[in-house]
A and B are shown apart, each in its own frame.
Chain A
Amino acid sequence: MAARQGRGPDGPQRFLPLFLVAASLLSLVISTRSLLGMPERIGLTVIGVFERGFSAVGNFVGDTALSIRSLQRLRGDYEALLEKTKDMEKLQRDFAGLEAENDRLRGQLGFAQTLVLPEVAARVIGKDPGNLYSTITIDKGIESGIRKNMPVIAWQDGVRGLVGRVIESGQGTSVIVPLFNSSSFVAARLAKSRFEGLLSGKGSEDEVLDMAYVSKRALDDTQPGDLVISSGLDSLYPPDLALGRVKRIDQPEYQTSLDIEVEPILDFSRIEYVFVLETGDSTQAAASAATSLSAAGAAAGGTP
């Protein structure tokens, strides 16, 4: 390409770049102080329409190309599933019996029934356009009843795991911040030993999660492979959602608590469908979560 004669713009136009940089920074000042959620919502609603369209085109092309191979694989899967169904039928009979027994015993002990939250199924249509932030965009929004701070789960390999929470919802799309995001904190519990801690992400879906503030007394009862679940103490996520499995346990001498590396239970790169849990007042829950997490961090001498 040929070089052009360098001639800058004349008149007020010359200040446009400066004005736009200033406008960006002003917008950043406003949004980081959370005074204005409106531009994000409007932007998400408008862009969401196009994002859904692009995702649909991509899915159509991908699905068409893969459909022939999928058909061959489906035959094999069908045979395998028939075998599995026989086993499952037996398991289901056993399960029904156990569930009835469990209900009876719960009733006798006076425990409340497990809370079942309504779910909205949604398809993953996009991810954050940059590498710095990690978000997931789904094809359901305000019109489907999805609100900010609602927890999101997914099923993978027969396990129901926590994906993250809704951070923004437009009319037809919503943005989810996943568990592995560095700004994500979940009140967690070791399923076997029942010790509590705080689970946080490192910003990448390929990396492990960190579980901090776990009492050193948990060391004897904790082993790699142990399940980590949500404790429900942060009021934002319901209890007993699978989060991950213990990968490594560190016992720093200078700390009063254990540092546990947790392998996420879900493979985030494979998530196609999610379920948004319709909790009551998510905003109120988030506020109380933030308060309790800050209190937990302060109590443990750290910043959550």
Chain B
Amino acid sequence: MMLRLVVSVVILVGLSLIQATWLPSIAILGARPDLGLLAVVWLAYRNGPVEGSAAGFISGLVDDAMSAAPFGFNAAVKTLSAWLASFLHGSIQLDRVIMPVLLGAATTLFKAVWSTFLALLFGNQLASYDFGGRILWVETAYNAVLAPILFAILGGIFSIVDSKRRNAS
């Protein structure tokens, strides 16, 4: 479990840094995909609630450190997203395309609803998505398209990690 968590943290920190430094140049209509969120959801689905929510919490804190968002905002969004996604752990089968697309879109929309709820709770210090604006829908589509690719890459990485663990034991 420890090795998996360490690998998860390294991947999530890397994705947050890529998100901040490289992805602005591939934004579509001002919206960027949320690779960190997709990875957190996949990790929660694969590894269960404990590792998933821990990964979501750490990834969120890294985002908070780089963002204008109040400290804890991204952590709250990603931890809860991971926890909810972990209910799928062992209960559904993830195919290569359809489920990842649905999961990517649903997670983005959940993030929008949850951040709107937090904005209502904490007042105007928190930003929330405009449900009629293009940013949310472009990001949803972007995440839906990238989810199968990212999930496949993460699946490959964790297959290697698991086989190394098995060999070591």
Are A and B genuine complex partners?
yes
* Interface set of A (CB-CB < 8 Å, partner B): 1-9, 13-14, 16-18, 20-21, 23-32, 36, 39-40, 42-44, 46-47, 50-51, 54-55, 58, 125-135, 137, 167, 175, 177, 181-183, 203-206, 269
Chain B 8-51 interface mask (CB, 8 Å, partner A; 1/0): 00000100111111101000011110101000000000001110
Whether B69 pairs with A126 at a CB distance below 8 angstroms is no
Q: What are the residues of chain B within 8 A of A6 when measuring CB–CB?
A: 89-91
Whether A126 pairs with B60 at a CB distance below 8 angstroms is no
Known contacts A43-B61, A47-B62, A54-B18; is-contact A32 B125 (Cβ 8 Å): yes
Q: In the bound complex, how far is the Cα of B75 from the Cα of A40, in angstroms? A: 13
Q: What are the residues of chain A within 8 A of B93 when measuring CB–CB?
A: 1-3
Q: What are the residues of chain A within 8 A of B69 when measuring CB–CB?
A: 128, 130, 132-133
Known contacts A39-B71, A43-B65, A47-B62; is-contact A16 B53 (Cβ 8 Å): yes
Q: In the bound complex, how far is the Cα of B70 from the Cα of A29, in angstroms? A: 9
Whether A36 pairs with B65 at a CB distance below 8 angstroms is no
Q: What are the residues of chain A within 8 A of B107 when measuring CB–CB?
A: none
What's the count of A-B pairs with C-beta under 8 Å? 184
Q: Which of B116-149 contact A (CB under 8 A)?
A: 118, 122-123, 125-129, 135-136, 139
Q: What are the residues of chain B within 8 A of A175 when measuring CB–CB?
A: 66-68
Q: What are the residues of chain B within 8 A of A23 when measuring CB–CB?
A: 57, 75
Q: In the bound complex, how far is the Cα of B48 from the Cα of A182, in angstroms? A: 38
Q: Kindly list the 7 A-B residue pairs having the minimum CB-CB distance in the complex, ordered from nearest.
A: A43-B65, A27-B72, A6-B90, A28-B72, A17-B53, A24-B76, A31-B71
Q: In the bound complex, how far is the Cα of B50 from the Cα of A7, in angstroms? A: 12
Q: What are the residues of chain B within 8 A of A42 when measuring CB–CB?
A: 65
Q: Which one of A23, A126, A203 has the greatest number of beta carbons of chain B within 10 Å? A: A126
Q: In the bound complex, how far is the Cα of B65 from the Cα of A175, in angstroms? A: 10
Q: Which one of B20, B21, B48, B79 has the greatest number of beta carbons of chain A within 10 Å? A: B21
Known contacts A2-B93, A20-B53, A20-B57; is-contact A128 B66 (Cβ 8 Å): yes
Whether B86 pairs with A181 at a CB distance below 8 angstroms is no
Q: How far is the CB of B12 from chain A (nearest CB, A)?
A: 11
Whether B72 pairs with A26 at a CB distance below 8 angstroms is yes
Q: How far is the CB of B74 from chain A (nearest CB, A)?
A: 7
8 more contacts with CB within 8 A, not counting A126-B24, A128-B69, are: A9-B48, A24-B57, A43-B65, A47-B66, A58-B22, A125-B21, A129-B16, A132-B69
Q: How far is the CB of B78 from chain A (nearest CB, A)?
A: 8
Whether B73 pairs with A28 at a CB distance below 8 angstroms is yes
Closest to B63 in A: A129
Pairs across A and B, CB under 8 Å, 22 listed: A1-B95, A3-B91, A9-B49, A21-B80, A24-B57, A24-B60, A24-B75, A28-B70, A28-B75, A28-B122, A31-B70, A39-B71, A40-B64, A47-B65, A47-B66, A54-B18, A54-B20, A129-B74, A137-B66, A182-B127, A206-B29, A269-B24
Whether B21 pairs with A4 at a CB distance below 8 angstroms is no
Query: When the two chains form the complex, which single residue of B16, B127, B139, B155 contacts A1, counting CB atoms closer than 8 Å?
Result: B155
Q: Which one of A8, A50, A128, A132 has the greatest number of beta carbons of chain B within 10 Å? A: A132
Q: What are the residues of chain B within 8 A of A125 when measuring CB–CB?
A: 21
Whether B127 pairs with A203 at a CB distance below 8 angstroms is yes
Q: What are the residues of chain B within 8 A of A205 when measuring CB–CB?
A: 30
Q: What are the residues of chain B within 8 A of A181 when measuring CB–CB?
A: 68
Whether A129 pairs with B36 at a CB distance below 8 angstroms is yes
Known contacts A24-B79, A28-B76, A54-B21; is-contact A36 B71 (Cβ 8 Å): yes
